[in-house]
Amino acid sequence: MWKEFKEFAFKGNVMDLAVGVVIGAAFGKIVSSLVNDIIMPLVGLLLGGINFTNLQIAFGEAEVKYGSFIQTIVDFLIVGFSIFLFIKLLSKLKKKEEAKEEAIETPSKEEELLAEIRDLLKKDATQEDKGTV
């Protein structure tokens, strides 16, 4: 069982996932700070100084903090959109890299034709050297 766990835990995909989770958590903190410290104060200013995190309704001694819920939804939307843009950018760069590799690896029709002509000339030269034409 320990051997199977080691094989699972140290596969490339699991390690990549672990790195992705750590980077994603750090990225989430950055975006949360962006939302809390920059975007939401500006939104509050545009809406007349409303601070969403302080919005609440009191029912007796119970407080329903719907402002914090709104803040969390905005955080989620911005984090999700930011990650979407980041992944889209990475995918675009990866496609460009793959296209370059494919262009390098795949010979054009002209190159194929020139290679055939070269091979025929070599074959004719070899036959002439042997005395057969």
- Domain containing 114 equals 2-130
pLDDT tens-digit map of 65-117: 888 888 788 778 877 787 788 888 888 988 888 877 776 777 778 888 888 89
Residue whose entry in the numeric block shows the structure tokens 């390098």: 104
The arithmetic mean of pLDDT across residues 53-61, rounded, is 85
Residue whose entry in the numeric block shows the structure tokens 């601070």: 51
Higher pLDDT: 98 or 121? It is: 121
Which range among 11-15, 27-31, 86-90 shows the weakest confidence by mean pLDDT?
11-15
Does 16 score more than 60 pLDDT?
yes
The alpha carbon of 61 is separated from its chain's Cα centroid by a whole number of angstroms, namely 46
Cα–Cα nearest to 74, from 47, 35, 48: 35
Q: Domains in the chain: how many in total?
A: 1
Which CATH number characterizes residue 63's domain? 1.10.1200.120
pLDDT class of 49 with cuts at 50, 70, 90? low
Cα–Cα nearest to 16, from 28, 4, 24: 24
